A and B are shown apart, each in its own frame.
Chain A
Amino acid sequence: MTDTNQVEDAIELHSDGIEAELTQLVERLLDEARKQGAHEATASVSDSISVEVSARARDIENVAYEQGRVFHVNVNVDHREGTAVTSDVSDAAIKETVAQAMSIARYTEPDPCNGLPAKDRLTFEFKDLAQNYPTAVNMDRLKADALAADAAALDYDQCIMPAHGADASQMATCGVRGNSLGFVCATRHTGYGRSATAIAKSDAGMQSDYWFDRDCHPDKIESAESIGREASRRAKRRLDPKPIRTGTYPVMYDRWIAPSLLYPLIEGISGGNLYRQETYLEDSLGKQVASQKLTLREYPHIQGRSQSRNCDADGVTTEEHTIIDNGVVDTYLLGTYSGRRLDMRSTGHAGGITNVHVETDFAPLQDLLHEMKEGLLVTSLIGSGTNLVTGDYSCGAAGFWIENGEIAYPVDNVTIASNLDAMYKGIVGFADDIQDRSSIRTGAILVDAMTVASN
């Protein structure tokens, strides 16, 4: 038998010197790029460590340790670009990786929109975003957590069967990015997570569901017991679904899947899709694209949130933005390249959004359900059926049938369909059951009418 302590000792967590070590590697990559003739270059190195323990049927099932380092370099020669990525961390790899990127840049065509941001847009001062809470790996604790979540799931009800189990994990990442204009950004993140899956069984069949929580801080995640119970509660409530009549009904997205309703709107006004003409929201700046009740504001610097960041993937300083103002597009979401393609200024969105909040008059959930009277409360979606080019939307869904504003019975195996334009403009209201776990902070969202198809 291997001594647990021996293993814990063997896990080399990041030392305080990790940022300096990776910064040096980034500088060597940038130096090498300059030596090989790059006019501009961006380099990054990331190093991550993770430990994950899973339990199933009241016993430990898997223990996984991961450790990895990746180099990434992008070179620009006369507006021609080349990129190379490697997990070969040997010294020789630095030269070779840069050489590969350079050889690609010889063959790509010049694009005047390529290149680094203007120096005055780059970030040289960094706020503490409070995302790093390293703790020594305690295998016994992780095992106990995974077992506790699994046991809590199984103990919830007699209808619960052993499923894929539960897990507990911790990870630490250090990433350093830099470019040839002297920009260097080092970030350290920790992540702690717990999750559980549960299967509930009745004569009519089996239903499974899942629950999880994740945070930078080890003490801020939901308890293992609570994670397990919630997975089982969610699976049990889905048992014995009934078909409904195909028709057009109000549809409410519960608070956990409500962000997925808003992501296509974010994607639709993002630079890459705009310049590729891959969005129905082309030329939407200043136009009404959603209900007046929808305002989206972004807060990139909230402490303790893993999505927060000082600068975007290009190094451009992130700022607070109103993205949608009472249903009107207030800004596109642009990186340096897509900004140049559209003849606009980068908004610091290379790599996507940070923390986006729905700001509106939230209504009590019960009031919204009563307003909806009869319709579908969607609690899970399956499959990606969004066509951003046309706005066509069709998704597999499961949830509950609502009658007289109350939950009547579970519904499974239906589709909900409409067009994004009609859906966003048809948002009736937002519930006050706000959740803050995804990158979009919102409560449940009620849409006036969608086609629900059932067998």
Chain B
Amino acid sequence: MTETAAQAHRDLLELAQLTDDDLSTNVDTMLSRQIDDAELFIQHSRSESWALEDGKVKDGRFAVSQGVGVRAITGEKTGFAHTNELNDRALRKACLMASSIADRGGNRVAQIPSDLPFKRVYEGGDPTANISNDEKVRLLSELDRYTRGLDHRIAEVSVNLRGSTERALVYASDGTNQFDDRPLVSCRIHVIVKDGNRTESGTDGGGGRYPLDVFFADDFAKAKAMARESVRMAITKLDSVAAPAGEMPVVLGPGWAGVLLHEAVGHGLEGDCERKQTSCFAGKIGEKVASELCTVIDDATIEGRRGSLSMDDEGTPGQRTVLIEDGILRGFMWDKHNAILTGNQSTGNGRRESFACMTIPRMTNTFMLAGDSDPEDIVRSVNKGVYCSSFSGGSVDPTSGRFVFATTEAYLIENGKLTSPIHGCMLTGYPWDVMNSISMVGSDFALDAGIGTCGKQGQGVPVGLGQPTLKVEKITVGGTTA
């Protein structure tokens, strides 16, 4: 641990009015109640957000969230309790409640925590520290003025700037005593454009685990680029026509379109689905589940990305996990609990929205590696189909595998060329159909800009996505022109 991290660790305990002894005493007491594994998760988060609409910086919000989550595990059973009262009395009570799950545990061989090196993939500390409130307000106003000047058809502009820091300490009976300090920032621009009787909207944004300064550098260059992109998207859509309906070839653009992978294969490869055999991928390790052009990775260790983690919420160092290699299923994403029960090792994917939520296996940054095809050749190869460059999000039912994702910017492909933009529509398919029909993978790999939040069991966590341009031979496009 660096000196600053050690200090931050001490600060968090002091804030919680707890000592290292309190942690060990409470964990030992839980173990004496026939518990296999006991874990304390102490968290303190601060966030601030600033919003502009109607030309005014009118909303500012500051939030503090702090508390402790206690987990007691015996066999397949988990007892969980949390409290936002931070002191030893509240902690003891939460430990008592969590250990009520005990019925026959206490004889598991102690697990040894991961000996993987703990590599910091972001700097700790408050990411907004270098920027005064005056400057934040100036960015919003300047961005509003700049955006409105881009096109006379702009009717409304809204801008949102956020920065947060989360300090978390994991102390567990397996010897884990790990601390992390996670910054997260984002900037988002949304525009409404009107032309005659047509109205359209466009959104762009970005962010990651780095200082807020990024948006302020070079006269707000990064934020202004987002403004131009949101306006371009909205103006383009003013000319959009009805989307086609039915099964057809679809080309997905680089970056954010990786939402396809997140839904089609990502969720089904989270370890809880494998342990409970509730995923359409359960038990298929070593089998071909996608076209041989596909290699899919989950990687928490990329510097400063939105989905990156130096450690997960169980104190396991962030890792890079190969999920699919040349079309063959190689691995699942594991948290400790599901890994232990199935004889696997945690892959550092145990995550929770906050101390108030149970840890479950989740993705970090999930993406497909680049292939050999020229992106232009990919589009040229399609006679009649759809090109999608932006999405609002997706969903999946991991059991049947059925997934959907909604386009926000898409075009018809006619005779190998992009023609009219089309209205937003849903795409739907089964993973084995879609992943096996990926016939071309581009050389233009890109990660998304850093605005993704993934929801599972009511918990939202920041994630990253990425992919090169790729061609799916057939997927159902949910437009209105049958």
Contacts and interface: CB of A to CB of B under 8 A. Distances in A.
Given A108-B57, A382-B402, A7 B424 contact: no
A389 B201 contact: yes
B60 A417 contact: no
28 contacts: A61-B77, A63-B79, A65-B98, A67-B84, A81-B59, A84-B61, A84-B63, A85-B63, A88-B84, A88-B86, A93-B64, A107-B57, A111-B58, A199-B278, A207-B399, A276-B53, A383-B395, A385-B424, A390-B423, A394-B406, A394-B426, A395-B426, A412-B400, A414-B476, A417-B245, A419-B480, A451-B245, A453-B479
Contact of B482 (A64, A392, A453): A453
A178 interface: no
B302 interface: no
B400 A83 contact: no
B425 A417 contact: yes
A185 B480 CA distance: 48
Nearest first, the 3 A-B pairs at minimum CB distance are A415-B478, A104-B60, A396-B404
Contact of B192 (A11, A67, A276, A451): A276
Contacts of B439: none
A88 B57 contact: no
Nearest to A418: B480
Given A68-B82, A278-B201, A413-B476, A384 B393 contact: yes
Given A161-B277, A208-B399, A278-B201, A384 B406 contact: yes
Interface in B37-82: 48, 50, 53-54, 56-67, 76-82
Contact of B78 (A62, A68, A87, A414): A62
Contact of A83 (B60, B476, B478): B60
Q: Is the interface of B mostly helix, strand, loop or mixed?
A: strand
Contacts of A385: 404, 406, 424-426, 478
Interface in A148-164: 161-164
Contacts of A115: none
A383 B479 contact: no
A247 B482 contact: yes
B397 A108 contact: no
Nearest to A208: B399
B191 to A, nearest CB: 11
Nearest to B104: A1
A6 interface: yes
A387 interface: yes
Interface string A221-249: 00000000000000000100000001110
Contact of B84 (A1, A63, A68, A111): A68
B83 interface: yes
A7 B97 contact: yes
Interface string B179-217: 000000000000010100011110000000000000000
Interface residues of A, number: 87
Given A383-B426, A395-B404, 17 more contacts: A2-B96, A68-B356, A87-B66, A107-B60, A107-B136, A108-B56, A276-B156, A384-B393, A389-B201, A392-B423, A392-B424, A395-B478, A396-B395, A415-B476, A452-B245, A453-B477, A453-B478
A455 interface: yes
Contacts of A100: 62
Interface residues of B, number: 92
B246 interface: yes
Interface in B144-170: 155-156, 158
Nearest to B82: A66
Contact of B246 (A7, A67, A246, A395): A246
B426 A83 contact: no
Contact of A199 (B58, B399, B480): B399
Given A60-B101, A248-B482, A105 B60 contact: yes
B199 A277 contact: yes
B99 interface: yes
A166 B294 CA distance: 37
A414 B428 contact: yes
A285 B417 CA distance: 44
A383 B276 contact: no
A82 interface: yes
B433 interface: yes
B280 interface: yes
B426 A415 contact: yes
B406 A383 contact: yes
B69 to A, nearest CB: 9
A118 interface: no
B80 to A, nearest CB: 4
A67 B454 CA distance: 25
A451 B402 contact: no
A83 B66 CA distance: 18
Interface of B: 33-34, 48, 50, 53-54, 56-67, 76-86, 93-94, 96-103, 133-134, 136-137, 155-156, 158, 192, 194, 198-201, 243, 245-247, 276-278, 280, 356, 358, 392-397, 399-402, 404-406, 423-430, 433, 474, 476-482
A111 B426 contact: no
Nearest to B282: A206
Interface string A366-394: 00000000000000001111010110101
Given A65-B97, A277-B155, A396 B64 contact: no
A85 B66 contact: no
A4 interface: yes
Nearest to A275: B54
Nearest to B103: A1
B479 A413 contact: no
Interface string A274-302: 01111010000000000000000000000
Contact of B399 (A82, A87, A206): A206
A87 B65 contact: yes
Interface string A306-344: 000000000000000000000000000000000001000
A385 B192 CA distance: 18
B278 A164 contact: yes
Given A65-B81, A383-B406, A85 B62 contact: yes
Contacts of B477: 415, 453
A181 interface: no
A415 B423 CA distance: 14
A398 interface: yes
Nearest to A79: B58
B240 to A, nearest CB: 9
Given A161-B277, A394-B478, A7 B100 contact: yes
B61 A83 contact: yes
Interface in A1-28: 1-2, 4, 6-7, 10-11
Nearest to B277: A161
B238 to A, nearest CB: 10
A22 B134 CA distance: 35
A23 B345 CA distance: 50
A208 B201 contact: no
A63 B80 contact: yes
Contacts of A205: 280, 400-401
